[in-house]
């Protein structure tokens, strides 16, 4: 079997979040788990690794930022067109690890996409955790993803949606996610689980703030989905020291992830 073989998935729906961030709903042609990623290719353009933002029995959501040649080709697609997909690759966020815990998620920008399915899982199964807190930061109100989802989550979950700086007309939270992490009131530190995903500086300084609160690295999980490349450990582009992120990750516990210096 050719490991680079792709399969066509029809685009059923497209949601435009910002000028450069779209979610493509494609037919679900494979079994996937939250935190995994797929390779999406467009003939004559190339291929790109994309994390799976959500899925159900029929559809799979791919939230994509327009940043180059391949994503330009994807953004030229319309409903009814096909994307060539292979995968899924990588490990996943194991929901059962957080059962009975005080779960905190911290995301920065598009780092929300890889954990959207996990948030939705616990949104439907709040009885499986003790409490839930999401701190999600964006540069500005114009950069916010999944606005309709936030409205649903806020109905029965503790949500802190923040933008970096005050702006006219914005009446929500402001400041970096690290500022809001520092304000957390955690009476039972030993029962806390954390998932954080975002740009490297955001994860580094969030980790520092969590440590100040007494949370151990063993209680934190992160995703290095940004490091994905070929997905099968052949190109070496995702390798950090002796670790192939595509084979061992992209989800790591922080006691290992903090030692993977990129």
* Domain-embedded: residue 2: no
- The CA distance from 86 to 151, in Å, is 33
Q: What pLDDT is attached to residue 103?
A: 98
CATH of residue 57: 2.40.30.10
Q: Which residues, in sequence order, are CB contacts of 155 under 8 Å at separation 6+?
A: none
- The CA distance from 193 to 215, in Å, is 9
* Domain-embedded: residue 190: yes
* Domain-embedded: residue 1: no
Are 49 and 177 in the same domain?
no
Boundaries of domain holding 187: 95-258
Are 53 and 183 in the same domain?
no
DSSP strand pairing (46-55 vs 59-65)? antiparallel
Domains: count for the chain: 2
Are 99 and 69 in the same domain?
no
Mean pLDDT of the chain: 94
Per the rule left: phi > 0, alpha: psi between -120 and 50, beta: everything else, 89 is: beta
Mean pLDDT of 119-125: 96
Mean pLDDT of 102-121: 96
Annotated binding site: 230, 235, 238, 246
Annotated binding site for [2Fe-2S] cluster: 230, 235, 238, 246
Q: Which residues, in sequence order, are CB contacts of 71 under 8 Å at separation 6+?
A: 48, 64, 65
The string of pLDDT tens digits covering residues 187-205 is: 999 999 999 999 999 999 9
Residue 262 has pLDDT above 70, yes or no: no
Are 229 and 182 in the same domain?
yes
CATH of residue 165: 3.40.50.80
Are 29 and 114 in the same domain?
no
pTM of the model: 0.93
Please, which pLDDT band fits residue 226 given cuts at 50, 70 and 90?
confident
The string of pLDDT tens digits covering residues 9-57 is: 999 999 999 999 999 999 999 999 999 999 999 988 999 999 999 999 9
């Amino acid at each position: 079997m050719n490991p680079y073989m792709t399969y066509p998935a029809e685009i059923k729906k497209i949601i435009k979040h910002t000028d450069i961030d779209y979610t493509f709903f494609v037919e679900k042609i494979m079994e996937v788990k939250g935190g995994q990623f797929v390779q999406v290719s467009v003939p004559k353009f190339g291929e790109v690794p994309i994390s799976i933002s959500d899925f159900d029995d029929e559809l799979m959501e791919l939230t994509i930022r327009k940043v180059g040649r391949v994503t330009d080709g994807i953004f030229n697609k319309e409903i009814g067109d096909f994307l060539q997909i292979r995968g899924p690759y990588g490990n996943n966020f194991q929901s059962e690890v957080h059962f009975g815990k005080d779960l905190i998620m911290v995301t920065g920008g598009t780092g929300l996409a890889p954990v959207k399915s996990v948030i939705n899982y616990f949104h439907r199964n709040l009885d499986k955790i003790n409490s839930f807190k999401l701190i999600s930061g964006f540069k500005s109100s114009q950069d916010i993803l999944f606005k309709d989802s936030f409205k649903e989550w806020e109905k029965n979950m503790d949500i802190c949606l923040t933008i970096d700086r005050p702006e006219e007309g914005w009446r929500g939270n402001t400041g970096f996610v690290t500022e809001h992490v520092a304000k957390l009131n955690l009476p039972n530190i030993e029962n806390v689980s954390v998932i954080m995903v975002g740009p490297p500086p955001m994860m580094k300084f969030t980790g520092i703030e969590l440590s100040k609160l007494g949370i151990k690295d063993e209680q934190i999980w992160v995703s290095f989905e940004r490091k994905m490349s070929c997905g099968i450990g052949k190109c070496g582009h995702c390798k950090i020291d002796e670790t192939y992120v595509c084979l061992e990750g992209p989800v790591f516990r922080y006691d290992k992830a903090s030692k993977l210096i990129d």
